[in-house]
Chains A and B, each alone.
Chain A
Amino acid sequence: QVQLVESGGGVVQPGTSLRLSCAASGFSFSDFSMHWVRQAPGKGLEWVAVLSYDGSNKYYADSVKGRFTISRDSSRNMVYLQMNTLRHDDTAVYYCARDRGLQDYDGIQSWGQGILVTVSS
């Protein structure tokens, strides 16, 4: 079955960088777009970014555009979120997620367990 395992979270200071990783298994990785979604403590879900199945298209939430970069390594079934110039309001649980559509964008079907990123001085 689909398995998504995030890593790389932790406590960082404002203005610094962090890279999250997501190891994917149980499906044909190169056929599905991959997303990152976050949830600040006690708040709702916020979609962050998507990378198309073939790596050719990327879209971002306005709140992270220019600071975060999504990428993938299909040889290793990995997806990454490079987060630069982190701010206090980036503090959240970050979820790696797989799209529902085969070589398309059809919403989010599968989720990792989430990883906590805390931005604090």
Chain B
Amino acid sequence: AIQMTQSPSSLSASVGDRVTITCRASQGIRNDLGWYQQKPGKAPKLLIYAAFSLQGGVPSRFSGSKSGTDFTLTISSLQPEDFATYYCLQDYSFPFTFGPGTKVDIK
């Protein structure tokens, strides 16, 4: 199975900060990666699919990029509603695998 590592596991940031979260795949997965936001007690929400593409209705401050097997989620200017946990998911091969998550909280 493809292993996904994610860093950092948590971070503290202020409103307006630029935030980056990275997932690394244990092997090449093309661009088959999505990013999800989850708030406490709620289902995850798709933000980015196919590594780079913004899901409809998601603010443009969210973006995805890739370098080799490293994938990055960037929030250009953190807003109060962005405090949540973020997960990546590789959908290149089964079993699909999630990263362990990054919790973003208020500094």
Contacts and interface: CB of A to CB of B under 8 A. Distances in A.
Interface stretch (B62-70, B74-82, B97-105): B97-105
Interface string A23-38: 0000000000001000
Interface size class of chain A, counting residues whose CB lies under 8 Å from the partner chain: 20 to 34
A107 B98 contact: no
Interface size of B as a range? 20 to 34
Contacts of B45: 111
Nearest to B34: A107
B87 A44 contact: yes
**Secondary structure type dominating chain B contacts:** loop
A62 B1 contact: yes
A105 B50 CA distance: 12
A106 B49 CA distance: 8
Interface string B39-70: 00001111001100001000000000000000
Contacts of A107: 32-34, 46, 49-50, 89, 91, 96
Given A45-B98, A62-B1, A108 B91 contact: yes
A108 B95 contact: no
Interface of B: 1, 32-34, 36, 38, 43-46, 49-50, 55, 87, 89, 91, 94-101
21 contacts: A44-B101, A45-B38, A45-B44, A45-B101, A46-B98, A47-B89, A47-B96, A47-B98, A59-B95, A60-B95, A61-B95, A62-B1, A100-B49, A105-B91, A107-B32, A107-B50, A108-B96, A109-B55, A111-B44, A111-B45, A113-B43
